[in-house]
Chain A
Amino acid sequence: MNNPHPIDARPLITGDDPAAQAHYQKLVAEYGSPLLVLNRRVLQARFKALQAALPEVDLYYAVKAHPDPEIIKIIDQLGGGFDIASAGEMSLLLDHKVSGRRTIHTHPIKKDQEIRDGLRFGATTFVIDNAHELKKLVPYRSRVGVLLRVSFRSASAIVDLSKKFGCAPDEVADLVQQANALGIHVKGLSFHVGSQCNDASKHVEAITRCHALMQEINTTANKPLSVLDIGGGFPADYALQGLDIDAFCAPIRTALAELPKDWHLIAEPGRYLVAPSVTSVTTVAGKSVRNGFRWYYLDDGIYGSYSGQLFDHATYPLQVFRDGERLPSIIAGPTCDSIDVVAENIAMPELEIGDLLIGHQMGAYTAATKTRFNSIPDARLVVVDHPQERPVLSD
């Protein structure tokens, strides 16, 4: 058999799990398929776990990771802040009466209208990374507090976020000086070392370098820098091997302990909070055998909830409630496009039409990047309070 595709070796859970299967079948019976199932308990537990792992840090949920009103509501109830990057995200927050004072605007590049919309919404913290953006803030200088985004490239991050934005560390002092001359208050530094980091080494390095930069500036500045925003990058457990966030954050805690006690610390977690909180439920709508492959056609795919496989370079663990011989299979989405394939060459037990296929860890950068292609309806998001533990692969 001529196999053009490398083997898809993602975590795949097979076999009977009557409790889980019944849970998802009940939801599909009630709400239809496809679904995104948001488990409120998981999100709450994640938020609290990160809070406990970074007790001195205020958490601002990065709305872009999953801009769903239900998620915003839960974060709001937990007392979290919000990292926003657009007027659209602001109006979502407005719907929940979240005050602009609990937000920071983190998009380094803004049109004037976006700054005005931000101020009107009540956001007064703005992130910038160059002198052009600084000048745009002059008319609003009495109202805003600025964070300078510094770029530290991370070799270990899957998604590099320091390539597109952020000034070089050696530009910081000059930008702060320019801001002072323009009457704009720079209140601190921010960085984003990249999403889905394997370890916290880049965070630690960035914290240490920002600490030094800020202290050096503070020896002469009349308005001291006192805010450090350590961004996101806290990982999701796509390998289903268990994730110890406290251990991940331990080196960050150690680095932060070196900072002056009166500095204000901020983080902008997205992925870590929402990825495990949402599970995708799709249905096998059709099947066929072609070129020796079992083809299964789902009712959701790359243009919908699985868009993160394309845009976010993520591979989500899958689960089917079947057992038996593993056959080379292709799992495809519902659109007519051939790129709409969720798994190219995966060894799976035989599935039947009507079977459910579960995608785990699907809360971050999934529905957020879905498209309207083929006018296929979105997966509906339903909220559950389910005590069920996330599956962890045993071996």
Chain B
Amino acid sequence: MKHFKETLYDAVCQEFRIDKMYFESKTAHQHLMIFHNAQLGRVMTLDGVVQTTEADEFIYHEMLAHVPIFAHGNAKRVLIVGGGDGGMIREVLKHPVEHVTQVEIDQAVVDMAIEYLPNHSNGAYQDPRLNLVIADGFDFVKQYADSNQPSFDVIISDSTDPIGPGEVLFTDNFYAYAKRCLTPNGIMVTQNGVPFFQQDEIQTTYERMGQQFADMHFYCAPIPTYYGGFMTFAWGTDDLTARTRSADDLQEQFDALNLDTRYYNPEIHQAAFALPQYVKRSFKPES
């Protein structure tokens, strides 16, 4: 019987049984697998690290999509960097947005996800509001920032780890260019790792992304297969009211959309911004 052992940490690791291998591709630069696990459904791993599983992807995608869009209140244009598995566009396109641009570096990831992780995109790649761009996310925001094209209300960075291909999406320059692609009250959110094991990531993001935004914060949600407790998402905006939308406001929007979410709701939305002391202290030592 084959097993997948995650290679993130030296002293501890999670191990998944591989019940059936659907897809495996390895090059000198990366090693991608999609396999079935009886407990988790289809699992995608990249370079020995879990990227997404059918069982718990809803938590990640709902929280990275609905929190900034509901907080914004009137998002018309959304930019997604990464997210080739399609889960993010599926959630974003549940909103009455006019336009979504998704920038994915590799067409092969999209094709493979449509074939082997069809429940992730669930048809969203067919949505006429979607413009899929195959490009490097960093190059895209850099060029877009200098163009005269319309800004985005929400930017979602659905990246891989900062060690690996996602590295440039955690740099000062990326945040700076992304900021220039946003409307004045736009909101940017990013995947920011599991702070119990990766406290440094919080601090680094706070320093880098925080230079761009008047309100720099984090929110969190537990995603079981991102081992180590809850994951944090970085939150940046110049709209000082966005983070503290009232419960009634959120509830009204949520009800109006009639979303069939499995994790997100307005109470979760508000509570997600509450951070434990060890996380707060890693970016605000005086906390």
Binding site for B on A (CB under 8 A): 91, 94-95, 97, 99-101, 116, 119-125, 138-145, 185, 187
Contacts and interface: CB of A to CB of B under 8 A. Distances in A.
Q: How large is the interface on B (under 10, 10 to 19, 20 to 34, 35 or more residues)?
A: 20 to 34
A124 B164 CA distance: 15
Contacts of B5: 99, 101
B10 A124 contact: yes
B222 interface: no
Given A97-B26, A100-B48, A122-B48, A142 B199 contact: yes
B7 interface: yes
A123 B163 CA distance: 13
A187 B10 contact: yes
Contacts of B74: none
A129 B7 CA distance: 24
Nearest to B196: A142
A144 B164 CA distance: 16
A143 B47 contact: no
A88 to B, nearest CB: 9
B7 A100 contact: yes
For chain B, what secondary structure do more than half of its interface residues adopt (helix, strand, loop), or is it mixed?
A: loop
Contacts of A100: 7, 48
Nearest to B3: A99
B23 interface: no
A273 to B, nearest CB: 25
Nearest to A125: B10
A144 B197 CA distance: 11
Contact of A119 (B26, B28, B163, B200): B163
A124 B9 contact: yes
B275 interface: no
Nearest to B165: A120
A119 B164 CA distance: 9
B284 interface: no
21 contacts: A97-B26, A99-B7, A100-B7, A101-B5, A101-B7, A116-B163, A116-B164, A116-B167, A120-B163, A121-B47, A122-B48, A124-B8, A125-B10, A139-B200, A140-B163, A142-B198, A142-B199, A142-B200, A143-B197, A144-B10, A145-B11
Contact of A143 (B10, B26, B164, B167): B10
Contacts of A120: 47, 163-164
Interface string B6-28: 01111101000000000000101
Contacts, number: 57
A122 B10 contact: no
Interface string B211-231: 000000000000000000000
B31 interface: yes
B7 A124 contact: yes
B17 to A, nearest CB: 15
A142 B163 CA distance: 13
Most buried by B among A97, A120, A145, A187: A120
Given A95-B28, A143-B9, 15 more contacts: A91-B28, A94-B31, A99-B5, A119-B163, A120-B163, A123-B7, A124-B7, A124-B9, A124-B10, A138-B200, A139-B204, A140-B163, A142-B198, A143-B197, A185-B10
Nearest to B13: A101
B123 to A, nearest CB: 33
Interface in B42-65: 47-48
B164 A94 contact: no
Given A99-B7, A185-B10, A122 B47 contact: yes
Nearest to B167: A116
B225 to A, nearest CB: 17
B205 to A, nearest CB: 13
A100 B163 CA distance: 15
B29 to A, nearest CB: 8
Most buried by A among B11, B167, B204: B11
A87 to B, nearest CB: 9
B10 A145 contact: yes
Contacts of B7: 99-101, 121-124
Contacts of B200: 138-139, 141-142
